């Protein structure tokens, strides 16, 4: 009888434990109220209340039946409250009761501040150029894209209204972005010979006439707009194939494991920190999408035994270093430690742009990117 009673108690307590484990953990120094300021982001505000800012939708209690339930505006007064289930929620003050700690939540009509736009998920001044003007192509895509070869006059720089000529497959009447290569970086690991080309938008052009193989005529385009001068050697990419991404998107974790590396940084430096834009070698093929939060990890330095004493490889004797170089197996396999986090904001098939949102130490190229802890 006592055995069955014990099983009954376990069955009763187990779901309660699961429910408790699912409750968000609020930071001890989280404010009870916060006034949203112009320039705030969802990530910034979430980080005030959570050590896991990507759980913002759960803290806000997003309701899919309400249009844009997560939009908040400068001037909104946010209050931390607890619902009937004891779950923490961050709500606009008008939705909270000033008399009760436990509140029953129900949808209310929001009054929008017409002078302001809703705050963005990430700082727009950092990511907007990459959303609107940057493009990345693999080497084969870059070499196969149509090439600007010149114009109807011998001026090197072309601007709005000018005619340019191009070689390659173009659709009649189609709108194209004119891109220029800014840098190349290696992808696919240490032994890979494959490179990706990062490109920036110089202008837009529309096809007036396609190539005429019989007369060996190139395609003819008219420059419609330009951010900088269009030049021979620039590449043409259909604007319909590029991404137009919103400034506000839902933070979430990828649904499958991710194993990637940081390939390059926007500054071009080998070491960098918070608010740096980086490129990682995983994209939509690996299940990534805008709003996915990833952790950044680094393996501890290799340790070997030198004269029966543990030493870091760089501190070991010359013979021990030589042996460690020849021996593919180190004495200890050091674990990976979390050193930062990032949010993906633009994806390609096998590459993604991400913004570094938190760091515990200086990051560097080659750091590993996985699901956060």
> 50 and 27 in contact (C-beta within 8 Å)?
yes
Q: What is the pTM of this model?
A: 0.66
**Does the pLDDT of residue 112 top 50, yes or no?**
no
More confident residue, 255 or 103: 255
Structural domains for the chain: 2-95 (3.10.450), 127-241 (no CATH), 260-370 (2.40.10.410)
More confident residue, 43 or 237: 237
Q: What is the average per-residue pLDDT within 211-222? A: 90
**Does the pLDDT of residue 97 top 50, yes or no?**
no
Characterize 290-318 residue by residue with b for buried, 16 or more Cβ atoms within 10 angstroms of its Cβ, and e for exposed: bbbbbbbbbeeebbbebeeeebebeebee
Give the pLDDT of residue 62: 59
Q: What is the average per-residue pLDDT within 272-281? A: 90
Give the pLDDT of residue 280: 93
Residue 113 to residue 180: CA distance in whole angstroms? 40
Structure tokens at 89: 């929620």
Helices (DSSP H) in the chain: which residue ranges? 2-22, 42-49, 56-60, 124-132, 139-144, 318-326
Structure tokens at 114: 């017409």
Worst-scoring range by mean pLDDT, 33-37, 179-183, 212-216, 336-340?
A: 212-216
Worst-scoring range by mean pLDDT, 234-243, 245-254, 256-265, 362-371?
A: 245-254
Report the chain's mean pLDDT, rounded to a whole number. 78
């Amino acid at each position: 009888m006592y055995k069955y009673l014990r099983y009954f108690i376990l069955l009763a307590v187990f779901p309660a434990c699961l429910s408790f484990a699912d409750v968000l953990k609020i930071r001890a120094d989280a404010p009870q109220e916060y006034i949203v300021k112009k320039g705030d982001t969802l990530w910034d505000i979430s980080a005030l209340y959570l050590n896991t800012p990507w759980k913002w939708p759960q803290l806000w209690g997003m309701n899919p039946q309400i249009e844009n339930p997560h939009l908040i505006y400068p001037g909104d007064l946010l209050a931390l409250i607890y619902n009937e289930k004891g779950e923490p929620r961050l709500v606009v003050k008008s939705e909270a009761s000033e008399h009760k700690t436990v509140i029953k939540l129900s949808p209310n009509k929001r009054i929008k501040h017409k002078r302001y736009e809703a705050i963005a998920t990430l700082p727009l001044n950092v990511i907007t150029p990459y959303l609107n003007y940057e493009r990345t192509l693999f080497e084969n895509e870059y070499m196969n894209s149509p090439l600007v070869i010149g114009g109807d006059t011998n001026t090197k720089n072309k601007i709005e209204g000018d005619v340019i000529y191009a070689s390659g497959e173009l659709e009649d009447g189609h709108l194209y972005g004119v891109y220029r290569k800014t840098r190349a970086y290696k992808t696919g690991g240490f032994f890979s010979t494959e490179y990706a080309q990062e490109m920036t938008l110089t202008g837009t052009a529309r096809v007036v006439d396609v190539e005429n193989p019989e007369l060996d005529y190139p395609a003819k385009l008219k420059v419609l707009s330009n951010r900088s001068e269009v030049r021979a050697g620039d590449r043409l990419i259909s604007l319909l194939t590029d991404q137009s991404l919103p400034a506000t998107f839902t933070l979430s974790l990828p649904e499958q494991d991710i194993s990637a590396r940081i390939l390059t940084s926007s500054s071009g430096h080998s070491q960098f920190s918070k608010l740096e834009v980086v490129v990682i070698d995983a994209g939509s093929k690996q299940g990534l999408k805008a709003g996915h939060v990833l952790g950044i990890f680094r393996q501890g330095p290799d340790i070997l035994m030198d004269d029966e004493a543990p030493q870091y490889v760089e501190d070991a004797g010359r013979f021990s270093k030589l042996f460690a170089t020849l021996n593919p197996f180190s004495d200890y396999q050091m674990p990976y430690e979390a050193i930062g986090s990032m949010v993906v904001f633009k994806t390609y098939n096998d590459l993604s742009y991400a913004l570094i949102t938190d760091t515990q130490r200086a990051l560097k190229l080659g750091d590993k990117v996985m699901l956060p802890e």
